Structure 1
Amino acid sequence: MRRLASALLALGLLVRVPTTAFAHDVLEQTNPADGTSITHLPEAVTLTFSEAPLPIGSQVVVTGPSGPVSSGAPTVADRVVSQALSPSAPAGDYTVSYRVTSDDGHPVTGTFSFHAAIGLDGSTATAAATVHVRPAAGSEDAGNSIFVPVLLTIVGTVVLLGIGGFLLLRGREADASKRG
């Protein structure tokens, strides 16, 4: 019986552990924060993810009242993606759209917004108008990302039950043959 319990536990761990590898990176924090009003526009916008994204294919587009103000390509340092802003960026409402490559190779996209009262060019803006906050999508296939872990859990449970039943019947047959 101990062997059966050990085998089932080991198999259960083997089936459960790989499901964590299917999780995509998640945006944990932005600077400026989504939906906030800040006094001074920073020189760069930063996005912090749950895992270090791959530098390949990273795009961050910062759009202000006068259009795009991104300056150069985004940089990736550990879990932080930074996008420098043009020194001529004015005060006003800003939208940041991003697309990075998750450490598992899948794209992670999203959008967030903020308001800056004073721009990098020294201009000022009136109090923040209504900032349209859009929830950031975890990834393009975020709605389907739970399918694989659930499927693996179901398959693993069926396999565990099958092996457990087989070992139980085999043990009973062995006990019966010892008695007889």
Structure 2
Amino acid sequence: MRRLASALLAFGLLVALPTTAFAHDVLERTDPADGTSVTKLPESVVLTFSEAPLTIGAQVVVTGPKGAASSGAPTITGRDVTQAIAPDSPGGDYTVSYRITSDDGHPVTGTFSFHAAIGLDGSTAAAGATVHVKPVSSADDGQSSLLVPILLTIVGTVVLLGIGGFLVLRGRQADRA
């Protein structure tokens, strides 16, 4: 009985330890990089995440001097999300907004920007102030997504400890009889 109780307690402690399995994907890097100036506008932007995102609900919107500059739907290859840029896009300031479904099913959103001196259409742009915005994920998304696993871990641990305690007490009563 004591061995069973010890095994249950050890299992409960393992379950209670926090893991990274519940963490959302994070944007690790972009090409072009956030806040940079590039000589020529690339034909696409690439967002690299910490884990391979799901294809469902993937949205990447590229906005430039003439407005929307995205061309087609984004493609996902491994951890990279690629969004093509329209071939008639001029040089200037660009903002990329994204909403990607994390591999745990939760949305990851953010924005970054860059400046292109020469557009895909060959036009040039005067160097202007580039808006520098850090990619962000909603704080509410992160907190609510961890609430359920944390509660399940606490409840599971309490149940396992209760079962272990019950078995230990039952074993002591059997030893007395």
TM-score (norm 2): 0.83
Q: Give the match's secondary structure for 1:9.
A: helix
Structure-2 change in CA distance of 1:139 and 1:90 (3 Å) = farther
- Higher RCO structure, 1 or 2 (CA under 8 Å, sep 6+): 2
Q: Give the match's secondary structure for 2:176.
A: helix
Matched residue, 2:164: 164
Does the 8 Å contact 1:113/1:133 carry over to 2?
yes
1:73-124 deviation line (CA, Å, top 9, x unaligned): 1111122110111122222211111122333333332211122222222223
- 118-127 vs 37-46, which moves further: 118-127
1:10-159 alignment runs, 5 A limit: 10-14=11-15, 22-137=22-137, 141-159=141-159
Does the 8 Å contact 1:60/1:98 carry over to 2?
yes
Whole-angstrom distance in 2 between the partners of 1:139 and 1:33: 23
Does the 8 Å contact 2:29/2:47 carry over to 1?
yes
Stretches of structure 2 lacking an aligned partner (at least 5 in a row): none
* Percentage of identical aligned residues: 69
Structure-2 change in CA distance of 1:27 and 1:139 (3 Å) = farther
Whole-angstrom distance in 2 between the partners of 1:75 and 1:135: 20
Whole-angstrom distance in 2 between the partners of 1:139 and 1:108: 10
| Partner amino acid, structure 2, of 1:94 | Y
Q: Give the match's secondary structure for 1:161.
A: helix
Deviation at 1:5, TM superposition (A): 1.7
TM-score (norm 1): 0.82
Q: Give the match's secondary structure for 2:6.
A: helix
Whole-angstrom distance in 1 between the partners of 2:143 and 2:116: 33
| Partner amino acid, structure 2, of 1:159 | V
> Is 1:7 aligned with 2:3?
no
1:1-53 deviation line (CA, Å, top 9, x unaligned): 33322222234445668x75544332222111222222322111011122222
- Please provide the CA RMSD for this pair: 2.5
Structure-2 change in CA distance of 1:86 and 1:139 (3 Å) = farther
Does the 8 Å contact 1:52/1:78 carry over to 2?
yes
Deviation at 1:135, TM superposition (A): 3.6
Whole-angstrom distance in 1 between the partners of 2:30 and 2:9: 43
Does the 8 Å contact 2:16/2:154 carry over to 1?
no
Q: Give the match's secondary structure for 1:153.
A: helix
Deviation at 1:134, TM superposition (A): 4.4
Whole-angstrom distance in 2 between the partners of 1:6 and 1:26: 36
